Structure 1
Amino acid sequence: MYYSSIGILSLVLHVIINSDTLFRKRNDGRVKVRKKYRSFLFAIMTYYVADSLWGLLLEMGLISLTYVDTVFFFLSMGLSVFMWLNYIAAFLNMNEFWTRVLKVIAWLVLGSETVALIVNFFVPVMFYFNENGEYVASAARYYILIVQLVLFALIAIDTFVVAAKLKERKRRHFIAIGLSGMIMALFILLQAFFPMMPFYSVGCLLATTIIHSFVVVDERVESSRQLDAAKTVAYKDSLTNVRNINAYTEFKENVDKDIKRGVITEFAVVVFDLNDLKQVNDTRGHEAGDKYIQDGCRLICHVFRHSPVFRIGGDEFVSFLMNADYMNRANLIVIFNKHIDRNLERGGVIVSSGISEFDAASDSGYDEVFSRADELMYSRKKELKQIKSEMFVR
């Protein structure tokens, strides 16, 4: 039972540690490598099952079933080596020639082990059970284990050599892969000399844990960072550096979800529109028009600095007020309009605004609040145009 308990524990820890890789698919630039590693992990799981059953069946004296499981044991070990070599070829991003060489070696190792196990039914070249039901290892078993040991060791050494030429992050990944290969080689050696001890199970667990800790998790963090960076670019307006229409659309959807769940009960929407942008573009050029948009955005962000601001059109902006800004919304609008009044006198950027609050009793979603704020913004726009025209008359 002691022998089997190591295999069972290794299987449980293996699934816990690698559950994300085993059962969750990710679509990124490392899909091919991840698929190879996932196949290797499943092969290791197969080995753990065979190893765990071996100890139980032998202890129960079921020699015929133990013999069948021993065949399964060696096949699953050979499969794990085969999948490991395929993973390494993908991870190291080898050229086509060396990838083919490694695949041929992988098939030769798996094929020779399979042939040896078939021959073993007739001539005990791999193993046999004596008249006392004791497991006895034969010569071919040692040859095959030595070949696997040498493969792991050579690939580990090659990985260390490559690692020396790489930058810090990639070097860390390659060193982890090389170290895991060395561990596999060491525990294959121990398994060869101590067949009644589950050393290969322990080696597989240590090796996959190292890869998970120093490669898989690190790649996942880096992938998440790149995704966040790409999302930031995709959600940022290039001219003003505030959030763009993509971010606004997603934000609206999330607000509606929160409204339905009752998470949000108090918020206000401020809609902004730049007056006279077309006139600026027509008379002073598009470069001046871009600066006009930037000046307007800068003013909005200055007054509503604690709230998210979105550019949703060429000259349209929206700010979403919650918490302190929501409580102070009336004062903020007064401050903003004072800036606009001064700009009217000084010839600065003119921005119309309208604000509306969410009414939980009558509003079913965000768009109703936006529509009211938009109407008020257009009313303010007419008002500002009227004031400007009167100033010119005077």
Structure 2
Amino acid sequence: MFVFVAAGVLTQDLSDGYIRTAGLTINIAFTILILDYQIIDLETSDQTINQKERIILTDPLTGLKSRYAYEALLKNDASPLRERQLTAFSIDINGLKHVNDTYGHAAGDILIKSAAQIIQKTFVGNPCYRTGGDEFAVVVYGSEDRGQELLEKLSKEEQRANQNLQLKVSLAAGMAFSQENPNGNMKELMIIADQRMYNDKRKYYMDPKHDRRRR
């Protein structure tokens, strides 16, 4: 708009002084427009970057934090845990392979989403990650007692959800408290939680009615 008006004034008066004034006005107008476009471009770029970050950091199926976000957590939190109180949880769905093989992967996706909802309801306000096909991780900041309470709550939420689910959810879970390994880091704590989750999973398949081929 500034450029159009200034150019119109320029054609009305050809005196040297007025031409210089109009020319200066045109230059200023161009500068303003260029700056405006640059600001808009930067804002658009920032929005695009933020949108891409959200996509990368969010698991598209469940809405939980993604595997990428989980790996970033382990990479960025490599310091010893001695000064912190937190509990790491490793959670896995029992029987997903059986559901996929019997009812198809669409049914398996439903089971995964149901499991994610149970985890979200249990660990409200704490970062929850989907780390693999049927694998999840959660970090809870607080005392070991708080972690134990949430482990019990997870079982109750699972039972409550299964009252209304056609495909029943069965979760194996393990937890590890930071002060069990105060000189270790987050990755090492998660390894302990993983081991305990697999122990829980073995108990599930020790039941004769749970065929191990249905893992």
Q: TM-score, normalised by structure 1?
A: 0.43
Find 2:31's aligned residue among 208, 212, 224. 208
Matched, 1:331 2:149: yes
How far apart in 2 are the matches of 1:203 and 1:288?
A: 65
Whether 1:291 aligns to 2:110 is yes
- Match of residue 120 from structure 2: 301
2:39 aligned with 1:225: no
2:173 counterpart of 1:349: no
1:357-372 alignment, distance < 5 Å: 357-359=177-179, 361-363=182-184, 365-372=185-192
Match of 1:155 in 2: none
Matched, 1:243 2:71: no
8 Å CA contact retained: 1:183, 1:207: no
The alpha carbon displacement at 1:326 in A equals 7.8
Equivalent residue number for residue 201 of structure 2: 381
% identical aligned pairs: 22
Aligned pairs for 1:90-101 (under 5 A) are none
Structure 2 Cα separation of the partners of residues 180 and 219 of structure 1 = 21
Q: 1 CA distance for matches of 2:192 and 2:48? A: 39
How far has the Cα of 1:231 moved from its partner? 2.5
Cα–Cα, structure 1 residues 338 and 195, in superposed 2: closer, same or farther, change >3 Å? closer
Gaps of 5+ in 1: 1-177
1:253 equivalent in alignment to 2:71? no
Q: Does 2:88 correspond to 1:269?
A: yes
| Aligned AA (2:51) | A
Query: How has the CA–CA distance of structure 1 residues 183 and 219 changed in structure 2, closer, same or farther, with 3 Å as cutoff?
Result: farther
Q: Between the two structures, name the one with larger relative contact order (CA 8 Å, sep ≥ 6).
A: 2
Letter of the 1:376 counterpart: R
- CA offsets 1:214-261 (integer angstroms, 9 cap, x no match): 3222221122112222232233323222222122222332333xx37x
CA shift in 2, pair 1:224/1:237, >3 Å? same
Q: Secondary structure at the match of 1:294?
A: helix
Match of 1:328, SS state, is: helix
Cα distance in structure 1, aligned partners of 2:50 and 2:178: 31
RMSD: 3.8
Tell me the distance in 1 between the aligned counterparts of 2:169 and 2:175.
19
Q: Is the 1:184–1:207 Cα contact (8 Å) retained in structure 2?
A: no
**Distance in 1 between the 2:107 and 2:67 partners?**
23
- For 1:328 and 1:292, locate their aligned partners in 2 and report how far apart those are by CA, in whole Å: 27
> Structure 1 residues 314-323 or 273-282, which shifts more?
314-323
Given that 2:2 and 2:29 are in contact with CA atoms closer than 8 Å, whether structure 1 keeps it comes out as no
Cα distance change on mapping 1:255 and 1:327 into 2, 3 Å: farther
Q: 3-state SS of the aligned residue for 1:353?
A: strand
User: Counterpart amino acid of 1:335?
Assistant: K
State the distance in 1 between where 2:43 and 2:210 align. 59
Specify whether residues 207 and 267 from structure 1 end up closer, same or farther in structure 2 by C-alpha distance, changes over 3 A only: farther
What number of residue pairs does the alignment pair up? 204
1:311 corresponds to which of 106, 111, 130: 130
Residue type of the alignment partner of 2:173: S
C-alpha contact (below 8 Å) 2:87/2:141 kept by paired residues: yes
